[in-house]
Amino acid sequence: MYELSEERPEEWWEVEALYDLCFAPGRTALSSYRFRDGVDPVAALSLVARDATGALAAVIRYWPVTVAGEPVLLLGPIAVHPIHQGEGLGGWLMRESLARARAQGWARVMLVGDRPYYKRFGFEPLAGVEMPPPTNPDRILKLELQPGAWEGITGKVCKWTRGASEP
């Protein structure tokens, strides 16, 4: 049995420790981290799953960015503690957080990741949107939370700025 909740500010370092455990050293040097510096994650979509003992089992975060002046959710990272991998926690976090994003009025989501994993959640290649190098363009994926949400949206991904309107 797992308990799902929104990440609280005091859990930040515990979540970061799980990311450090699950990802290679230097993860913060990836291009997607450029959009996270100085920007808070979307609190209502950044979720933590704890096991029956209260230990952190899995996490997911979303960050606001813009493309062509339109609000976009940048998904990631998502991580599952190694002792809980294979239990379906990653899929549960994906489905739950995407349902919450849709309910909150977000129209579009993007991520940089492996298409074979993310296609089961409806993600597909995103052409015409540029992430900073060295991002492989084939790993940039999109999901429409509202029909047609990505139509006509092209250009560079930009860092969220104060005063930008959410969905």
Residue 63 lies in a domain: yes
For residue 80, tell me if it sits in a domain: yes
16 to each of 10, 23, 123, 167, how far by Cα in Å?
A: 11, 10, 25, 27
Instruction: Tell me the average pLDDT across 48-54.
Output: 97
Task: Provide the domain count of the chain.
Answer: 1
Query: Angle CA(83)–CA(141)–CA(115) in degrees, nearest 5?
Result: 50
| 165 lies in some domain | no
Return the pLDDT at 24: 74
- Map tokens 């930009």 to a residue: 158
Is residue 81 domain-resident? yes
- Angstrom distance (rounded) from CA 149 to CA 135: 23
- List, in sequence order, every residue forming a beta bridge with 56; answer none if it has no partner: 50
Answer whether residue 166 shows pLDDT above 70. no
What tokens appear for 75 in the block? Answer: 């998904």
**Domain for residue 115, yes or no?**
yes
CATH at 96: 3.40.630.30
Residue 166 lies inside a defined structural domain of this protein: no
Q: Which residues of 87-102 are buried (b: 16+ CB within 10 A; e: fewer)?
A: bebbebbbeebbebbb
Q: What is the pTM of this model?
A: 0.92
Could you tell me the residue range of the domain that residue 87 belongs to? 3-159
Amino acid 134: pLDDT: 84
Return the pLDDT at 84. Answer: 96
Cα end-to-end span (Å), the chain: 33
Specify the higher pLDDT residue, 99 or 133: 99
Q: pLDDT tens across 72-131, in order?
A: 999 999 999 999 999 999 999 999 999 999 999 999 999 999 999 999 999 999 999 999
Q: Which three-class secondary structure string do you get for the chain? A: CCEEEECCHHHHHHHHHHHHHHCCCCHHHCHHHHHCCCCCCCHHHCEEEECCCCCEEEEEEEEEEEECCEEEEEEEEEEECHHHCCCCHHHHHHHHHHHHHHHCCCCEEEEECCHHHHHHHCCEECCCEECCCCCCHHHEEEEECCCCCCCCCCEEEEECCCCCCCC
* pLDDT score, position 38: 86
pLDDT score recorded for residue 10: 96
